[in-house]
Amino acid sequence: MKENITQKVGQKESKSNEASLAVVFYNAARAEIVQRLALREQVLLASLVTYGAIATFAFRGQAIDFPLLSLIALFTFPFVVAHARHTWIILSIAKYIRVELDPYLPRTAVTAAPRYMRHWDESEVMLDCILHAKCGV
């Protein structure tokens, strides 16, 4: 009887430790997603600045410099690859959260109905987007 109680207490502590670790992993993954979103926006901004600079130099004279404008096509590929890579990693992290972390996350701490006002990146909308891939309008 005493061993049975000790075993149940040990199981509770183990589940509590797993849940605490899952919340830490969830917070780290969420921070990585937010950072990758910022990096993706920086890639978009860099591409717009590059295209603007090329267009400015191409249209500065009387005649349009078409060889210079053709550089836009050349610079598009690396920007698209960088943008797609960040998007792929964001989706992979979201799948990791949904598939591997979700079973361990405590329902009262992260995914339960809120009893308080949450920050946007902890909102139900963001959780649905990350945990269930229900993103979009």
**Could you give the CA distance from residue 41 to residue 35 in angstroms, rounded to a whole number?**
10
> What is the helix (H) or strand (E) element at residue 74, kind and residue range?
helix 71-96
Q: Provide the residue type at 112 as one letter.
A: A
Tell me if 96 sits within 8 A of 130, measured CB to CB.
no
Tell me if 18 sits within 8 A of 104, measured CB to CB.
yes
26 CB-near residues (< 8 Å, 6+ apart): 97, 101, 105, 110
Report pLDDT for 110: 46
Segment 46-95, tens digit of pLDDT: 999 999 999 999 999 888 999 999 999 999 999 999 999 998 998 889 88
DSSP structure string for 5-56: HHHHHHHHHHHHHHHHHHHHHHHHHHHHHHHHHHHHHHHHHHHHHHHHHHHH
Tell me if 116 sits within 8 A of 16, measured CB to CB.
no
The candidate with the shortest Cα–Cα distance to 89, out of 125, 38, 15, 18, is: 38
Rounded to the nearest integer, the mean pLDDT of the chain is 80
Lowest mean pLDDT among 1-10, 94-103, 124-133: 1-10
Segment 36-48, tens digit of pLDDT: 999 999 999 999 9
Other Cβ atoms within 10 Å of 116 Cβ, number = 4
